[in-house]
Amino acid sequence: MVMLNHATVRNLSPFNSKRLTSKRQPLLLFLLRSFLDNSILTMTGEFIMNKNKTLIYISLLVAQGVIIGLLENMIPFPFAFAPGAKLGLANIITIIAIFTMPVKDSFLLVILRLFLTTLLGGTVSTLMYSAAGAILSYLGMLLLKQLGPKRISTIGISAAGGFLHNVGQLLIASWIARSWNVLLYLPVLSWIGILAGIAIGIAANYVMTHVKTIQEFKLNYD
């Protein structure tokens, strides 16, 4: 008769916790590693897709802004004291960018639009007027956007941007002419800029509420 002590029975038992742990540990590590690898691959793939999608979106907006800018170059400015000045119709792209992407991406869009428009059909004076108007307008609209939709609408932000666009161009004209008398045209140009800004704001608001891709970017940004 074989006598089995308590230790022998525990070692031979299929319910031995130590033996189960030692056998299951590699399997658990394998499953955990597989889960982490798949998660990392999925997150990396989604990041790359989102990054590429953002770059394509920025490129499309830049291209549209350049086209609008080139068409705007064909419109004669009504005042001869500032050759190269514009009405700022391409600000519709700037407004869409402000509401649908981060600040660094929207600022990059503005800079790319300015330089590409100048390279394709502009002059040094055109770049100076466009840069002053576009950057001042961009900064002003960006600050006003921080007030929130309850305090100011998209059309109001665009109207302010149109006003600031003309202010920036007049400042450059004053610097070139070395005379502050050019700013006397500000009241007249203010009305032109505000009216153009209202029209641009209505168009931008319509685009952001009816174009599916822009709606998706706006929801993701908000």
Question: What are the φ/ψ torsions at residue 76 (nearest 5 degrees)?
Answer: -70, 135
Total number of domains in the chain = 1
Shortest CA distance to 196 belongs to which of 142, 160, 172, 170?
160
- CA distances from residue 20 to 9, 16, 24, 37, 187 in whole angstroms, order as listed: 15, 6, 6, 26, 86
Element (H, E) at 178: none
Please, which residues have CB within 8 angstroms of residue 53's CB and are 6 or more apart in sequence? Answer: none
CATH code, domain carrying 170 = 1.10.1760.20
- Tell whether 12 is covered by a domain: no
Positions in the chain short of pLDDT 70: 1-49, 76-87, 222
In angstroms, the CA 124 to CA 118 distance is 8
Residue located via tokens 């009241």: 187
- Tell whether 125 is covered by a domain: yes
In angstroms, the CA 2 to CA 11 distance is 16
- Tell whether 28 is covered by a domain: no
- Tell whether 152 is covered by a domain: yes
- Tell whether 50 is covered by a domain: no
- Tell whether 18 is covered by a domain: no
Model-wide pTM > 0.75: no
Residue located via tokens 């514009």: 86
For residue 142, the enclosing domain spans 61-221
CB 43 within 8 A of CB 64: no
- Tell whether 35 is covered by a domain: no
- Tell whether 22 is covered by a domain: no
